[in-house]
Structure 1
């Protein structure tokens, strides 16, 4: 987040901090532009650790300007990609703690002081994620179309000659069929939740940590399927082959659609220490 309580003019600069790691390789950042074009990425030492930083115009990162920029989908994607590229470059060779987008300080002195105060947390996070990657897992259950519960005797007649009064008991049959459809829908949902729990438990058995995330509503392109699990897991690099086998086994045993993404920089597991 932008450092608060500071009055800045349009000509003042600020220090944008991407990530914290230990002894990063300078060659890893060659060719990366960061979030601005005219200033190079550089390293800022604080104690035993190093932050990857870039000088930016403070006026470009005021709350008003930043909020307006983030409401533009293209701008949001551009900044998110630039930020992620720098973090990924650092993490390619060293355990790295990513900082949120638009983490800014007034100058190097303030940045160094603030980062030093967080040294204990950074060190704990770096120790936790060393040799680990983040993997995202989403599980979808099929949403079978519900059959028409209306009995034939209650449906509109196709021809005038076919029109007639409902057969005796047709209303009761309609209600029973409707209840049956609802019961089957509920059973499908319960089965999907059991699958989600089984998948989550299986991944946690091989992961160092896991987090359940908010379920996403179905997109128009995903019609016919419902997300029942949205989670992320911190998995040791030495268990990557085991993870691949687990995914194949779960897909075969559950018959559910399981989407796995990664490996990623462990963004989700650096703020829990």
Structure 2
């Protein structure tokens, strides 16, 4: 977790302004039903030029840079903070397009928050226009590895080295090495097929999307043993195309050659992945 450069040092007893998201001016009277961070004030709007920010007053000493660094290194506390942040962004997005801001975006008071955010008004407007009527969908592709492929075979006890006589009924060292080589070739072939399947999934979903972002696949510490993530992507898709997305994924899952391929889809989400650079244009 990288703290934003505007995260304030904190002043005991004084409230800080925590900013969740920026939205357009045409919004309901209240930013949503989420509660925000425990110990903070009610959610409210803050004028940012012609735009509005969803903010909350929070105790500055509890959200100082040192306090946040300590809290966010605790996985349970990090999850609580991230969930509170996400819940507010999601509630705000129910009323129209939003630009989600990073976790722990804080300023020492409304005046500093409004001034800093106003410097990015044009970028916020561009993102709001681009994401209006659209949502983010995450699509991940995995290769499920059979146990016989993931675990190398153990050499039989007493396997003699290559070129020696193993005796009746025993596997030679050369045969064992050939078996090991065959399993490695199987893994490589399966990996190549999975990468080709991932490109097929990406190509099909991009036909529905206004933008896409490809990220580095997660390792086994995040995905678990027994499967390998080969694609980790996000797509910006029109709300009316969500049904088409579901049917497209259904067709892909039944595609010949997709044996052992798992496709996970989640969403719709607020457009976290489409608030700045790194977006590849798709069909408009």
Post-superposition shift, 1:7?
5.7
Q: Name the counterpart of 1:242.
A: 244
What is the RMSD computed on CA atoms of the aligned residues? 2.6
TM-score (norm 2): 0.84
| In structure 1, distance between residues paired with 2:65 and 2:81 | 15
Deviation at 1:246, TM superposition (A): 0.4
Q: What's the CA shift for 1:33?
A: 2.3
- The answer to whether the 8 A contact 2:135-2:270 is kept is yes
- Match of 2:267, SS state, is strand
> Within 5 A, what are the aligned runs for 1:1-273?
1=4, 3=6, 8-22=10-24, 23-30=26-33, 32-144=34-146, 145-146=148-149, 148=153, 150=155, 154=159, 165-166=166-167, 170-219=172-221, 222-253=224-255, 254-255=258-259, 256-272=261-277
For 1:238-271, what per-residue CA distance to the aligned partner results, in whole angstroms no more than 9, with x for missing partners?
A: 2112111101011000232111101111111012
Do the aligned residues in 2 keep the contact of 1:35 with 1:82 (CA within 8 Å)? yes
Aligned-partner SS, 1:60 = coil
The question of whether the paired residues in 2 share the 8 Å contact of 1:2 and 1:104 is answered with no
Is this contact kept in 2: 1:211–1:233, CA < 8 A?
yes
| Runs of 5+ consecutive residues of structure 2 not aligned to the other structure | 280-284
Structure 1, unmatched stretches of 5+, are: 156-163
Q: Say which SS state the counterpart of residue 61 (structure 1) adopts.
A: coil
Task: Quote how far apart the aligned CAs of 1:169 are.
Answer: 9.4
Stretches (4+) displaced over 6 A? none
Q: Distance in 1 between matches of 2:83 and 2:244?
A: 30
Question: Is the 2:17–2:107 contact (alpha carbons within 8 Å) kept by the matching residues of 1?
Answer: yes
Q: Which is richer in helix?
A: 1
TM-superposed deviation, 1:104? 1.1
- Per-residue deviation, residues 78-125 of structure 1 (Å, max 9, x unmatched): 111111111111110110011111111122221111111110000000
Does the 8 Å CA contact 1:2/1:105 hold for their aligned counterparts? no
User: Matches of 1:227 and 1:264 in 2, distance apart?
Assistant: 21
Q: Distance in 2 between matches of 1:90 and 1:221?
A: 30
Distance in structure 1 (CA, Å) of the matches to 2:65 and 2:9 = 12
| SS, match of residue 54 in structure 1 | strand
Indicate conservation of the 8 Å contact 1:153/1:170, yes or no: no
Q: Is the 8 A contact 1:9 1:59 kept in 2?
A: yes
Aligned residues: 263
Contact 1:151 1:170 in 2 (8 A): no
1:7/1:19 CA distance change after superposition, 3 Å: closer
1:163-202 Cα offsets, whole Å, 9 max, x none, are x943699333333222222212211111111111111111
